[in-house]
């Protein structure tokens, strides 16, 4: 005789979460491939869904729109694993830089962090910049990100000055220098056009920052 109240199967939330993360990854991988090949405008949500092998409604359910996919790609490409949703200034590598007390070593560590971030993010930033020329919402996003990046560099300069007086007394001007040297555009010029490795760029950046900032 069957049991009147059979035990309920425990809900496997871990498996469901893993499946959701895998779907998200497939969508992002597909979008990055198509953005690289066809640009932001040329990659439609429909083509992304087909490339990812998921239903169109799934892409909308996960990201809502193409702009959000682009933002997520930038976050993913500019962070270490598991830190995509962690604010830049709270990431472990950034904290390590702020805690270093030797000025030259601090700038070398900073250069390594920047090179690591740009190795993944520079190409995504370039896609954004191209899209910004024709897409008003992306242009607004790019302007916001540029301001945010300047503020992050201002924080970095403030941390550098905490270890001793800088060559340049005006921190805004020093921030402009750091902001320019660490831009995705400069990184791509040196790595893509001149064939440098990310390590070459890191060493160059450290040297330029030490010469520009330290007495």
* Mean pLDDT calculated for residue range 83-87: 68
Q: Is residue 174 part of a domain?
A: yes
Task: Please report whether residue 101 resides in a domain.
Answer: yes
CB 72 within 8 A of CB 63: yes
Per the domain annotation, does 167 fall within a domain?
yes
Number of domains in the chain: 1
In a domain, 163, yes or no: yes
pLDDT at 27: 96
CB 51 within 8 A of CB 30: yes
Residue 144 lies in a domain: yes
Q: What is the pLDDT of residue 11?
A: 53
CA dist 54 and 21 (Å) reads 13
**Nearest-angstrom CA–CA distance, 39 and 44:** 10
- Grade residue 82 by pLDDT with cuts at 50, 70 and 90: low
203 in a structural domain: yes
Identify whether the C-beta of residue 79 lies closer than 8 Å to the C-beta of residue 133.
no
Tell whether 74 is covered by a domain: no
Between 121 and 169, residue with greater pLDDT? 121
pLDDT confidence of residue 169:
78
Domain that holds residue 191: 87-213
pLDDT 10s digits, 119-152: 999 999 999 999 999 999 999 999 999 999 999 9
Record the pTM: 0.84
Residue 1's pLDDT band, with cuts at 50, 70 and 90, is: very low
> What's the pLDDT score for residue 92?
85
Q: Is residue 36 part of a domain?
A: no
Share of the chain above pLDDT 90, in %: 75
- 48 exposed, middle or buried (CB, 10 Å; 0-12, 13-18, 19+)? buried
């Amino acid at each position: 005789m069957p049991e009147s109240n059979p035990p309920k199967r425990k809900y496997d939330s871990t498996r469901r979460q893993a499946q959701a993360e895998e779907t998200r990854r497939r969508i992002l991988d597909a979008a990055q491939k198509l953005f690289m090949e066809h640009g932001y405008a040329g990659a439609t949500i429909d083509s992304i869904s087909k490339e990812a092998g998921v239903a169109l409604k799934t892409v909308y359910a996960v990201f809502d729109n193409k702009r959000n996919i682009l933002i997520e790609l930038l976050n993913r490409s500019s962070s270490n694993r598991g830190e995509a949703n962690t604010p830049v200034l709270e990431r472990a590598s950034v904290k390590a830089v702020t805690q270093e007390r030797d000025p030259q070593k601090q700038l070398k560590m900073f250069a390594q962090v920047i090179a690591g971030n740009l190795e993944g993010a520079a190409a995504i930033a370039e896609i954004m910049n191209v899209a910004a020329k024709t897409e008003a919402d992306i242009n607004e996003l790019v302007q916001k990100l540029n301001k945010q990046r300047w503020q992050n560099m201002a924080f970095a300069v403030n941390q550098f000055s905490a270890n001793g007086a800088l060559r340049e007394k005006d921190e805004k001007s020093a921030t402009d220098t750091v902001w320019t040297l660490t831009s995705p555009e400069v990184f791509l010029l040196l790595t893509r056009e001149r064939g440098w490795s990310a390590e070459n760029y890191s060493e160059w950046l450290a040297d330029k920052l030490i010469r520009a900032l330290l007495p």
